[in-house]
Structure 1
C-alpha cells in the first residue's frame, strides 16, 4: 500500500528536502537534521505542528519560531509549493512513497530505536510491512574477492530458508551479494540506500521484486540524490535499527562506512548483536571489532540453527583463528564460538505520531489530505514506561519497602510494556535496570502465567488471559 502524502509530511518536505525534479538544484536554505529536530521540539512545546506553518494565517507562528529558525528562511522554504507538487507527481508515477515521523505508517522500528535521530522523512518503494519484520543485517566492504561474494550469498540463501528478512545497504560488493543470495532463494529483503533510489527502483531486475512484495527499498535522501560519502555513513544506523542481529563480513580497520557503522553500533547504539565472520582470510578490521565486543559468527547449519542466533541472551565469544572460508560447520575450524547475545536495545516506547493533519495551503491537487484518527499530539507529552518505574523505584527506596512490594508495582509496568513482543534486553533498557534483574522479573511473570516467551517474533509478550486480571 502506498500511503497518501499527509499535510505534515508535505510541510516537512518543504523544510528539509531538496525536491530534486529532473535537473533541478537543491536549496542551500534547507534545514539540517539538527535544525529540524530543534524546530519540531519547539512546535511541540507550543502545541503546534509542521502543517500549521503552511496555513494561510501562519505568519504569527513563523514569528513564534524566530528564536529557533529565522522567519525569512522559513518563508523561503515553505514557498516552494509548486516545486513540491512537481516532484510528488514524479514520485507517484514511479510508485515511490514518502512518510514522515508525523505519520502512523512511519517504520516503528526506526522511530522507537532511533527516536529523534530517526530521519524526518523516509522515501521508499515496495511493501512497507517488510520494514517491521526484523531479520539479519549483512554489511561489508565494496571491494572483495569472489570467495567472500560466494560466502555472503550463501548467508543470504540461509536467511531466506530460515524465513528471515535480509537487511542491507544495496552497495556493491558484500551488500549486493547478501541481497542477491536471499532474493534468488525466494527470501525477502529490505534495502537501505544512500543514493539513487529512483534509478534503482526503475531497474527492470528490481521492479517485479518490488511489485511482488519480495523487496522493499528505502532511503532517507531525495530519490534523485547522487552518491555522497557522508550520506552513506549516516544511513548505516538505519540498517542496524531495522534488524534483529547483524553480520559484518568484511571491514577495513579504522576507516570506511562499514567500520564506522559497526563501531557506532558496538560503542553507542547497541541495538542488536554484532557478529563478525569467523572463517576465511584474516581481517584486521574484524579482529578489532572483535576486541570492541563483536561476536564470532557461529556458521549455523540449517534454518533451525540460524534461528537460534536471534534468541540469545548473553555473549559467549571465544577466540578463534580465521581459516578455511566456510558457511557451515565441518567446512571450517571446529572451535568457533556458538553464539551470542543480544546487546541492550533502546526501549520501544510506542510513540503516537507527533502531529495531527490539517490540510496545507499549497497542497498538490492530486494528493488527498484526509487526517487519520491515529494522529495525536506528540507522545512526549504522555508518560513513558520509564517514568512510571522511576516513580515506583523512588518511592520504594524512600520507604525501604521489601522487594515483593517493588515487584508488585513493576509487574503492572512490565505488563503494559509487553502488549507487543520485547526481548529481555529491551525490557531492561525500558526499566533502566540490569539485564539480570529484568530476566529475573520476566521469569517470575512467566512462572506466574502472566507472560509467555515466544520465538517469532522473538520476545516476551503478555498473555491475553492476564489482561483482565
Structure 2
C-alpha cells in the first residue's frame, strides 16, 4: 500500500496531516476538515484534483485557489515533502497503510454513507477488506463493572459464532470487552481508534491478529496522535457507518462520547438500527436513548434470533437527509433536491449516492440526475427482453438492479451467504441482502437453512 501511495493521497497528507515523524507544522497551519472540504470543492469546480497541486507548473492552480485558501499557506504545507517521506518510512516499518478519499481502495461504506464527511485520509493496519463486511457495532462506557464486561464479552462471542464482524472503538471498558469476546471466539474485528494507532499495532498480541487477518485497526487521525476528546467524539460516526446494526451496552445521560455518538445516529445519520441493552436495573442513559428511538436488545442466544436483528427496518425516511445524505449547502432548491420529492426512497438513495460521490471524489466522472436517468434497458440488454428494452426507460434503481440481477445469477452456482454476495459485488451486506430478498420475493431465489444461504429456485431463471 505505502509503495504505491497515490499522488492525490500525498497531496492530501501534505495539506491536512501533522506528519508526526519530526516536529512538522503546527496543527493550526494544517487545513481543517472544513477547509479541506472547501478546497476540494473548489478544485473540482476549476476541473483539477489535489494531485495537480504537486505539479511543477502548479503556480497558476495555487493562485486560482487563493479565494478559498491563502496561496502562501498552501505552498508552505505542500513544501513538506521531505517530512512526508520520513513519515512514510516510519509507517512502512510498522505495516501501517494510508488511503485517501481519492483512492479506489478507500472503504466504499464510508464514502457512500458519510459522503464529504468521510475522513479525507484514513490510516490503518490489517486486512482492509474487513471494512466492507458490515457487522455489529458495540459501544459503551469506559468505567463499568465486571458483570457488564462479562455480558459484553458474550455479545462479542455471539457475533463471532454468527460470522458477523464486530466493530468498536478500542477504548477500555465496553469497547475492548466486545472486541476481546469476538476475537476469542475466532471472529473478525474492526477497531476504529481515536488515538495511538501506531502504539496499538505494535502490541505483540494485536500484531499476530493483524497478520492473521482477524483484526483490522483504523483511525482518521495521525498514527502517533494522542488521545483527544474531540477526536473520540468525531470517530463515533465511523463505527456506525461501518456496521449493519449497533448495540449500546451502557451510556451516561446527556454526556459522554457514547451518548453523543448514539444520539447523532438516532437523530441525524440514521444509518443502522440502534439497540440498547435491556437492563434489569434502571439506566438513565439507556432509557434516554430508548425515548429517542433506540430499540431494546432482546438478548438473542440462537443464531436465527441474532440474525433477525440485522433485518430490522429503519424508520421510513421522509426526506433524503434521513439517510445521512443531506444536501450540500445552497442545494435546497437544486434539481437534485426537487427530483428527490418525486422518486422512491430506494431511487433517492442510489441517485443521491452516485451524484454526491461523483462531486466529492476528484477521480470520478460527474454524475447528474439527467445522465443517470437517461440510461435505458438497452444498456443492460443481457438481463432484459430486447423488445421491452427498446420501449421503456428505467429508474436509476431499476437500471442498477437489472445489472445486479445478472451478476447474482452468475454467482449462484451453489448456496451463497449474504457476505459472499456482498464481497463479490463490492457492496455492503445490507445492500446485498436487499437485492437477495427482492429476488426471493420474485420467486427467483430461495432462502435455505442448511446450508445457510440463498440459492436459485429456478435453475435457468437468469439465462
TM-score range relative to shorter protein: 0.7 to 0.9
1:293-333 deviation digits (Å, cap 9, x = unpaired): 00000111122321121123367xxxxxxxxxxxxxxxxxx
Check if 1:193 corresponds to 2:177. Answer: no
Partner residue, 1:383: 368
232 and 114 in structure 1: CA distance in 2 versus 1, 3 angstrom threshold? same
Contact persistence 1:8–1:49 (CA under 8 A): yes
208 and 385 in structure 1: CA distance in 2 versus 1, 3 angstrom threshold? farther
Contact persistence 2:99–2:122 (CA under 8 A): yes
Partner residue, 2:101: 101
Partner residue, 2:336: none
How far the C-alpha of 1:412 sits from its partner, in A, is 3.4
Partner residue, 2:171: 171
Contact persistence 1:194–1:219 (CA under 8 A): yes
Partner residue, 1:216: 216
How far the C-alpha of 1:173 sits from its partner, in A, is 0.5
> After TM superposition, where is structure 1 displaced by more than 4 Å over at least 4 residues in a row?
22-25, 343-346, 350-355, 384-387, 405-410, 416-427, 441-459, 463-468
Partner residue, 2:318: none
Contact persistence 1:9–1:100 (CA under 8 A): yes
Whole-Å separation in 1 of the counterparts to 2:217 and 2:279: 30
148 and 43 in structure 1: CA distance in 2 versus 1, 3 angstrom threshold? same
Partner residue, 2:337: none
How far the C-alpha of 1:8 sits from its partner, in A, is 0.6
Aligned residues: 396
30 and 376 in structure 1: CA distance in 2 versus 1, 3 angstrom threshold? closer
How far the C-alpha of 1:282 sits from its partner, in A, is 1.9
Whole-Å separation in 1 of the counterparts to 2:163 and 2:219: 24
1:240-265 deviation digits (Å, cap 9, x = unpaired): 00000000000000000000000000
How far the C-alpha of 1:276 sits from its partner, in A, is 0.2
Whole-Å separation in 2 of the counterparts to 1:191 and 1:422: 20
Deviates more, 1:167-176 or 1:303-312: 303-312
Contact persistence 2:127–2:215 (CA under 8 A): yes
Partner residue, 1:412: 399
Whole-Å separation in 2 of the counterparts to 1:87 and 1:282: 49
Question: TM-score when scaled to structure 1?
Answer: 0.75
Whole-Å separation in 1 of the counterparts to 2:214 and 2:37: 33
Partner residue, 1:77: 77
Unpaired runs of 5+ residues, structure 1, are 316-342, 356-374, 392-404, 428-438
Partner residue, 2:34: 34
Contact persistence 1:352–1:377 (CA under 8 A): no
Partner residue, 1:261: 261
273 and 457 in structure 1: CA distance in 2 versus 1, 3 angstrom threshold? farther
Question: TM-score when scaled to structure 2?
Answer: 0.76
Contact persistence 2:52–2:58 (CA under 8 A): yes
1:420-453 deviation digits (Å, cap 9, x = unpaired): 58899979xxxxxxxxxxx9x9988755567888
Contact persistence 1:168–1:192 (CA under 8 A): yes
Whole-Å separation in 2 of the counterparts to 1:454 and 1:31: 52
Q: Name which structure has the greater RCO, CA cutoff 8 Å, separation 6+.
A: 1
411 and 128 in structure 1: CA distance in 2 versus 1, 3 angstrom threshold? closer
How far the C-alpha of 1:408 sits from its partner, in A, is 6.2
1:22-41 deviation digits (Å, cap 9, x = unpaired): 56564421111111111111
Q: Matched residue of 1:191: which SS?
A: strand
Q: Matched residue of 1:28: which SS?
A: helix
